[in-house]
Structure 1
Amino acid sequence: MSRRPPQRRWWLPALALLAAIWTLSSSADTPGPPLAHPFDWLAHFVTYLALGYCLGRATGRPLTALVLAAWWGALDEVHQAFVPGREAGLTDWLFDFLGALIGAGVAGRRRSLPEEGPEA
């Protein structure tokens, strides 16, 4: 994974995703219909793919992005163990990790395009 220049404006969506993940996992009832495992794991994968990508763009370091997202996923699974009606799962975390791995990798491989204005 190659290093790209960090783009600070990507911290906003990354922090929004972190907050959304924590808020949803703090609730005993996640909004929406109950998900069967394949769809639940797909939700974990897609969410952490987005998080890995945003963190990768924000930091400019795919490995750092992967470590941050994987750490957040693990922390979130432990957190869920203490929320009534929720459970922690290693398989959930593995899908978090795989999504973050691909998201951070894509962010690291994305070619820099000319952008208007200075970096925020």
Structure 2
Amino acid sequence: MSKAFFVWLVLIFIVSLYPEPPHPPGEFKFMDKIEHFYVYAVLGVLYVAWRRKPDFKAFLLIAGIGMLNEILQGFIPGRDMSLGDFLANAAGGGFSIWMLR
């Protein structure tokens, strides 16, 4: 199961660090937050399936990955760091880990 976790993790970073055209300032994309939630919920499920530890440390790891991803996006043309995206990442990971306790 560790292979699935790492494949999913690499896919997250490939897709989210790919440059894209800029969005209008102040635009809030609701579907974007749902996508972030879902993607990190899957990452949380894969982590728990691999490590068998649905605990706070698992949440911190998944949230930390989401934070790192958002920070790195700040250096990519057409991307930006987003607190809303980070919160959706952390919420998705946290929800899936909490559901698997």
Give every structure 1 segment of 4 or more consecutive aligned residues whose post-TM-superposition deviation is greater than 3 Å. none
1:77 corresponds to 2:70: yes
Structure having the higher Rg:
1
RMSD in angstroms over aligned alpha carbons?
A: 1.5
- AA aligned opposite 1:80: Q
Q: Which TM-score applies when normalising by structure 2?
A: 0.85
Task: Say whether residues 1:51 and 2:51 are aligned partners.
Answer: no
In structure 2, list runs of 5 or more residues that go unmatched: 22-27
Determine helix, strand or coil for the equivalent of 1:58. helix
Structure 1-normalised TM-score? 0.73
Q: Distance in 1 between matches of 2:53 and 2:70?
A: 24
Runs of at least 5 residues in structure 1 that lack an aligned partner in the other structure: 1-9, 31-35, 109-120
Per-residue deviation, residues 25-78 of structure 1 (Å, max 9, x unmatched): 221139xxxxx6110000000000100111112111112321111010000000
- Tell me the number of residue pairs that the alignment of Structure 1 and Structure 2 aligns: 94
Which of 5, 22, 36 is the matching residue for 2:13? Answer: 22
